[in-house]
Amino acid sequence: MSLRHALLALLAARPMTGYDLAKQFDVSVAYVWHAPHSQIYPELRKLEASGLVSAEATPRGTLATKRTYSITSEGVAELERWVAELAPTPPERDAAHLKATYFEFGSFGNARRQFEAHLSHHRRQQLKWETHVAQLEKRDTDLLRRRLAIAPEAEHEAIVAYKVHVYRGLVERARVEVEWAREGLALVDRLEAAGKD
């Protein structure tokens, strides 16, 4: 149920085509909620059918139509309803930790490879998010500027602050994963040394 709200939230900043939305999912929203275009296009149709967004269709070539979607007042109301709703936390599903629980079924070398992959992935994530935090703080992303342009000035601080807080949280989370992987590597070293006696 989050995809529709992610789309509505993006459209609250400015009208966009499905393609624009798919791109935004790659450069910012995807940091918290990933979605491929094959999921986005049908969802936009559903949102349109339920009146939460409206589409302006402009012909493109002879066959295709380009649709620019805007959020409607019902859409804004739905966004507000969603933000006010206390969502149940989803069940845990963590493939990396599941696998690490059973590293004894592989070699020390394998455990190292796995921890190293974990480390480099989350290190990259951390850098990406740190960059994003810096941009948000400078109010230097297209979407944020658009969002601020249509919001009353009194709200600007909160709008920026919430987003910065979210991405700082993700930076911290990535940092913890990196730390966990490093400690994992140290653990493997200890286990291997102990086994050599």
Partner DNA sequence: ACAGCCATGTAAGTCGTTACATGATTGC
Partner DNA sequence: GCAATCATGTAACGACTTACATGGCTGT
Shortest reach from residue 20's CB to a copy of itself, in Å:
18
Residue with tokens 């789309």: 7
Binders of a copy of itself in range 47-86 (CB under 8 A): 76, 79-80, 82-84, 86
**Cα of 127 vs its chain's centroid, Å:** 15
Over the window 25 to 54, marking each residue x when it contacts DNA by CB under 7 A and - when it does not, the resulting string is ---------xxxxxx-xx-xx---------
Q: Report the C-alpha gap between 68 and 53 in whole angstroms.
A: 10
Roughly what angle, to the nearest 10 degrees, separates helices 153-195 and 108-137? 160
Q: Report the C-alpha gap between 117 and 140 in whole angstroms.
A: 32
Binders of a copy of itself in range 4-33 (CB under 8 A): 5-6, 9, 12, 29-33
Binding at 37: pick from DNA, a copy of itself, none (beta carbon under 5-8 Å per type): DNA
182 C-beta neighbours (distance < 10 Å), count = 14
β-strand partners of 60? 64
- The residue type of 88 is P
Positions that interact with a copy of itself (CB under 8 A): 2, 5-6, 9, 12, 29-34, 76, 79-80, 82-84, 86-87, 89-106, 110-111, 113-114, 117, 121, 151, 154-155, 157-159, 161-163, 165-166, 169-170, 172-173, 176-177, 179-180, 183-184, 187, 191, 194-195
